[in-house]
Structure 1
Amino acid sequence: MTTTQLSPTPRTTVTRGRSRAVLDRDALLAVLAEGLVAHLGLATPGGHPLVLPSAYAVDPSGPDAGGTLYVHGSVAAGWVRGAADATVCVTVTLLDGLVAGRSAFHHSMNYRSAVVIGTARVVDEAAEKERALGLIVDHMIPGRSATLRAHTRKELAATAVIAVPLEEASLKIRGGGPVDEPDDVEAGVWGGHVPLRLVAGDPVPDADAVTSGGPVPPDVVARARAL
């Protein structure tokens, strides 16, 4: 059972820039829905930290507390074994702009940043694993998984899925221009921000698709147009 509000823990309480903390769970889910790359951080058995980029997906009604965030990996990757039953941190950041202040100190970036902390579990149950992989594909291109063949046993055996509860999470957002000192504003130096956004190009067919794959499917066209 999820709530509409995040309940910060000592590990997810924003201490720097508290005014930018957002406690609305729907806002957190929106950022996770818009992002495309998650970074998973964990301590390795060798004792050094490791942060890896990964495809991911979210199931707000998933089996874990607060819902489930699924991260994709390979069973051959050492970090997968290290993540099992360990505390991990998953972050998703959307970069919205470059902030040009009137001093070096007040240069910044506009962003939406989600942080999820929790005990990871390796998804072993076949039905949940297949569903999670479908969600990950559809997170990249909505509706895509329904157009694809079923996974083979070999593919499922080679693919790892890590589940992280969404219960312990935080969201921080910055927008707008610089927060400059009055004296710097009066000095007449230009200040402002440069908005940034992700833009998709036209879909490029694979060489084999040119002769055997037909036109670009509607799900791919729609995804490109949505970005």
Structure 2
Amino acid sequence: YGEGSGQWRTITAHAADRYSVVAASLQLADRRGAVGETDLAAFLDGMHRLAQHFAGLIELPASHEVLTHARALDEFCAGVDVQLGVNVVDVAGNGFAGTKLRGLAEAAGLELRGDGLFHAVDEYGATLFTLGNLGPEIFDADVMRTLTTAGVTFMLDVPRVADGPAAFDRMVAVARQMAQSLGGTLVDGQRHVLSDAMIAGIRAKIGEIQQQMAVYEIAPGSARALRLFS
């Protein structure tokens, strides 16, 4: 807390203000699980040493309370950590040409990135959904010149998207257009043909999950959600 500014500010290596109160935080969970006793103890020990160095007073929560909260947070996150996908597969046995796939993906506004996936992004550059290969090869500009694949998969990471149902609608629209252009079929992970009713059910599930997150004060696609689901 800056004495001069009267506001909470992030302390940087070049900060020139004087601080009367300092707050430190530790993320309690992510996709690897809840924070453990060892990491928590190291964090608390570091805060103790910092306070001693500046002859300051320190207020710390009880370790068992923090660990209990971390486990509860991790349990909730695990319950809403869902990635939903739809596939476009070749049923004629000819395969999809990589050059054709790339042209269709780019025409739909998707960007090929270094992770081997095409990304659909919002106005801020955040990923809405991805398009990847169902085969072993990742998508690469050079590889796609000679690639032939039996199918592609569209994937939506539900907790990391602000408006899941809207992103899903766009994803399905692109998948349908690609299926029509390639002569492919839209199927789920078990290769069952996706009917309109099944797609509506998936969309409703996305909305339900994101509503649960909002009630838990983790806004889907927010900075908090991106930290927790990483």
TM-score by length of 2: 0.21
| Greater RCO (Cα-Cα under 8 Å, separation 6 or more) | 1
Q: Which has the higher helix share?
A: 2
TM-score by length of 1: 0.21
Question: Rg: which structure is higher?
Answer: 2
